[in-house]
Amino acid sequence: MKKIILDVDTGVDDAIAIMLGIGDPTIEIIGITTVTGNVGVDRAFENSCRIVRYFGQEQKIPVYYGARENLFERSVRAFEVHGEDGLNGMLPDLSYNNTKRPAITWLIEQIKKFPNEITFVGTAPITNLALAVKLAPEIIPLIKEVILMTGAFEFPGNVTSTAEFNAYAAPIALQIILDTGFQSLKLIGLDVTTKVLLSQESINKIQDPETCDFLLALTSNYRKLYQRLYNLNGCAMHDPLALGIAIDASFCGFEHVQVSMELKGEHTYGQTVLNRHTKNKNALVATSVETERVINYLVSQLNRLKIVKTKREITKLH
Ligand code: BDR
Ligand code: CA
C-alpha cells in the first residue's frame, strides 16, 4: 500500500482531502502534519484531529503540530473561503485525544524509517517540508515523491492577480523546495484545480446520509462563494486533486519545466514563474486534468465513508 504523509492547513478542501485519504483503500495515510495557512496552526491541528476523529480514524492516523509561522510570511488567511474556524462551523464541540507532538522531527524520522516509500502530499504553505530538508538534508534522496497543491502558472492567482494562496503564504519555503532536487516534484496549481468542481448534485450521490449532509454543510459557504464570484456550480477541489494525483497520476497531464518564485515584485510577490526554455527543469507542472474522471473517483471514495452514528466510527465498504 502506498504510504502517504499529508501536510495540511485544514480548511474545507484540506478536510475533504483527509476524507478521501480515509476512504481510499489503496493508500495508507501514515500521518498528518499541520501548519499555519488558511487558519493558524492551532486551528489547523484541531480541525485535522476532529476530521480524523469524526471518521473513526483517531487510532490509525496520527496528527502532528507543525510551523506556527511561515518563512517570511505576509500575513494571509482564508477565512472568507473556509470560515473563521476553517471548517465552516462544523464539528465545534467534537473532542479529540491528540497531544501536540512536533511535526518536523516526526517527518524526518518517518522518511528515514521508510526510505523511497513515502509520497509527501502538501496542500498548504510548504514550511514544514522546507524546514525538514534544511534540518536534515539527508532525507532528500529518500523521499519517493513530493506532490504539492500550489501555484498559478498560466492562470490568475487567488490572493493577488498573480499569486496562489499556498505559494503566496510561504514563497521562500517553496523556493527552497524548488531548489532541493527531489526525485520527483509535481505541482498541482490553480490551472487544473479550479476545473475540478464539487457540486451539490455530486455530493447528493453520496449514499450515506450523514456523510452527505456533512459535506453539504461543510462546503455550503464555499459553493456559494464560487457561485457569486465566478458564476460556477460547485467549489474547487484543490487539495483532493493533489492527493488524487498521488493515487493516479494520469488524472492530469504534466509538463517538465523550471519554476521559480517571485520574491521581490511589488505586484507579483508569490507568483510561480514558469520557464519552458531552459535545461534546468525542476518540477512537473500539471497543465491539464480529466475533470469528470476525478470527480467520479472522488465521489466514489467518499461513498466508502460510512459513519456508524452510535460509535462514531467509519467502516470501509469494500
Ligand atoms: C489553496 O489555498 C487554500 O485556501 C486551499 O486549502 C488550497 O490548499 C488553494 O489556493
Ligand atoms: Ca489547503
pLDDT tens digits, one per residue of 21-68: 999 999 999 999 999 999 999 999 999 999 999 999 999 999 999 999
Q: Which residues fall within 8 angstroms of residue 283, CB to CB, at 6 or more apart? A: 178, 185, 186, 187, 256, 257, 258, 259
Predicted local confidence at residue 13, as pLDDT: 98
Per-residue pLDDT at 318 exceeds 50: no
Largest CA distance in the chain: 58
Question: Which residue among 39, 47, 166 is best mutated to probe the pocket of ligand 1, counting the most ligand atoms within 8 A of its Cβ?
Answer: 166
Q: Would you give the DSSP letter of residue 70?
A: -
Cα 303 to Cα 318: distance, rounded to the nearest angstrom: 11
Average pLDDT over residues 175-184: 98
pLDDT at 310: 34
Expressed in angstroms and rounded, the spacing between residue 64 Cα and the centre of ligand 2 is 16
User: In angstroms, rounded to a whole number, what is the distance separating the alpha carbons of residues 203 and 198?
Assistant: 7
In short, whether 38's Cβ falls inside 6 Å of ligand 1 is yes
Which atom of ligand 1 has the smallest separation from the CA of 239? 8
Ligand 1 neighbour 166 (Cβ under 6 A): yes
82 C-alpha to ligand 1 centroid (Å): 9
Which pLDDT does position 311 carry in this prediction? Answer: 44
Mean pLDDT of 271-288: 97
State the distance from the centre of ligand 1 to the C-alpha of 158, rounded, in angstroms: 9
> Which of 84, 239, 243, 271 for a ligand 1 pocket mutation test, highest count of atoms within 8 Å of Cβ?
239
At 82, is the pLDDT very low, low, confident or very high (cuts 50, 70, 90)?
A: confident
Nearest ligand to the C-alpha of residue 79?
1
**Beta carbon of 191 within 6 Å of any ligand 1 atom:** no
Q: Is 110 in the pocket of ligand 1 (CB under 6 A)?
A: no
| pLDDT, position 97 | 84
Look at 15-24, 65-74, 141-150 and tell me which has the smallest mean pLDDT: 65-74
| Interacting residues of 183 by C-beta distance below 8 A, sequence separation 6+ | 141, 143, 144, 145
Q: At what angle do helices 220-230 and 209-218 cross, to 10 degrees?
A: 50
pLDDT of residue 307: 54
If phi > 0 it is left, if psi is from -120 to 50 it is alpha, else beta; for residue 286 that is beta
Averaged over 133-159, what is the pLDDT? 98
* Alpha carbon distance 106, 112 (integer Å): 10
Q: Is the CB of 14 under 6 A from ligand 1?
A: yes
Q: What are the cell numbers at 242?
A: 493533489
- Tell me, using a 6 A CB cutoff, whether residue 149 lines ligand 1: yes
Q: Of 3-7, 89-93, 221-225, where does mean pLDDT reach its minimum?
A: 89-93
Cα(310) to ligand 1 centroid in Å equals 33
Residue 307 Cβ < 6 Å to ligand 1: no
Mean pLDDT (whole number) for 160-186? 97
- Asked if pLDDT for residue 84 goes beyond 90, the answer is no
Is the CB of 10 inside a 6 Å radius of any atom of ligand 1? no
Q: How far apart are CA 113 and CA 142, in angstroms?
A: 10
Query: Is residue 182 pLDDT above 70, yes or no?
Result: yes
